[in-house]
């Protein structure tokens, strides 16, 4: 698969975008506008905080996501973040992290484009990511999925030194062949992962599964946890 070719482009006087020149031949702010007829946008029903759409164009089939806040802080500002420089914007940081992971062969979608628009001391942002076809979230098919596939995907992510900020049952997708994919790396980061950080990710997934499926999902997670730590022991890292 061709390597990602990142390039930057100004978006007026207050914004910029980063895109994969190998996949995006017509970069511009219109790529991030779900109201644009050419994108044929369809709202994503699960997840995305009502700010994600399935779109398509010359770049192929993709998912467009506008960054939205959650929790109590969303009552103050639903889509604006404190400006700390272009490299620190949520969109550019996620694009760069996904580029690293994709190049490493990890099971993540290919990033296509990311953008930010600054206003004073704050900014808003959006990202365009390749759509993985024929997938369903772990939340709706955990009972029929293979714990080894999911544990292996999480372990490979950790071995590459990537920490997922929100490893929940909707951010793990299973395709028709049973392969596990990891998505939504907003606020994710590269770091040296010790046992506690690894366990915290797994426990977050546990809480998510129990929330969507109840106690019946606990034995499934226990087996996933066992397989994960078996992989860790075999690699003598923790």
CA 160/CA 104 separation, integer angstroms: 8
Helix (H, G, I), strand (E, B) or coil at 212: helix
Task: Convert 143-199 into a string of H (helix), E (strand) and C (coil).
Answer: HHCCHHHHHHHHHHHHHCCEECCCCCCCCEEECCCCCEEECCCCCCEECCCCHHHHH
- Which pair of tokens denotes residue 74? 């969303």
The whole-number pLDDT of residue 150 equals 98
Quote the pLDDT of residue 49.
56
At 238 the pLDDT is 58
**What pLDDT score was predicted for residue 77?**
63
Q: Write down the pLDDT at residue 69.
A: 82
The DSSP secondary-structure symbol of 235 reads H
DSSP conformation letters of 19-74:
EETTT-SS-SGGGG-TT-GGG--EE-SSSGGG-EEEEEETTEEEEEEE----SGGG
| Segment holding 227, helix H or strand E | helix 218-235
Residue with tokens 């905080």: 49
The pLDDT assigned to 237 comes to: 63
CA gap 147, 84 in Å, rounded: 40
- How many Cβ atoms are within 10 Å of 89's Cβ, its own excluded? 26
| Contact yes or no for 154/182 (Cβ under 8 A) | yes
Measured CA to CA, the distance from residue 57 to residue 128 in angstroms comes to: 11
14's enclosing H/E stretch is none
Per-residue pLDDT of the chain (238 residues; tens, 9 = 90+): 789 999 999 998 899 999 999 999 999 999 999 999 999 999 997 654 578 999 999 999 999 999 998 655 545 667 899 999 999 999 999 999 999 999 999 999 999 999 999 999 999 999 999 999 999 999 999 999 999 999 999 999 999 999 999 999 999 999 999 999 999 999 999 998 999 999 999 999 999 999 999 999 999 999 999 999 999 999 876 5
The set of catalytic residues is 166
pLDDT at 167: 97
The model's pTM is 0.94
Q: Which residues of 215-224 are buried (b: 16+ CB within 10 A; e: fewer)?
A: eebeebbeeb
| C-alpha 74 chain-centroid distance | 20
* pLDDT given for residue 129 in this prediction: 98
- DSSP secondary structure letter of residue 132: P
């Amino acid at each position: 698969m061709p390597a990602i070719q990142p390039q930057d482009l100004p978006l007026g006087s207050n914004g910029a975008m980063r895109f994969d020149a190998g996949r995006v031949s017509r970069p511009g702010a219109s790529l991030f506008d779900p109201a644009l007829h050419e994108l044929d946008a369809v709202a994503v029903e699960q997840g995305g905080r009502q700010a994600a759409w399935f779109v398509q164009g010359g770049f192929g089939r993709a998912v467009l996501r506008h960054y939205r806040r959650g929790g109590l802080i969303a009552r103050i500002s639903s889509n604006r973040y404190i400006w700390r420089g272009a490299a620190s914007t949520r969109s550019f940081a996620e694009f760069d992290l996904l580029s690293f992971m994709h190049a490493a062969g990890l099971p993540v979608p290919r990033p296509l484009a990311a953008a930010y628009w600054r206003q004073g001391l704050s900014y808003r942002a959006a990202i365009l990511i390749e759509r993985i076809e024929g997938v369903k979230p772990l939340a709706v098919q955990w009972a029929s999925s293979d714990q080894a596939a999911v544990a292996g995907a999480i372990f490979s992510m950790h071995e590459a030194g990537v920490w997922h900020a929100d490893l929940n049952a909707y951010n793990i997708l299973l395709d028709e062949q049973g392969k596990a994919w990891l998505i939504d790396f907003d606020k994710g980061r590269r770091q040296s992962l010790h046992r506690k950080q690894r366990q915290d990710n797994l426990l977050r997934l546990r809480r998510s599964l129990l929330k969507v499926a109840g106690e019946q999902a606990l034995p499934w997670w226990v087996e996933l946890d066992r397989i994960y730590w078996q992989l860790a022991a075999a690699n003598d890292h923790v």
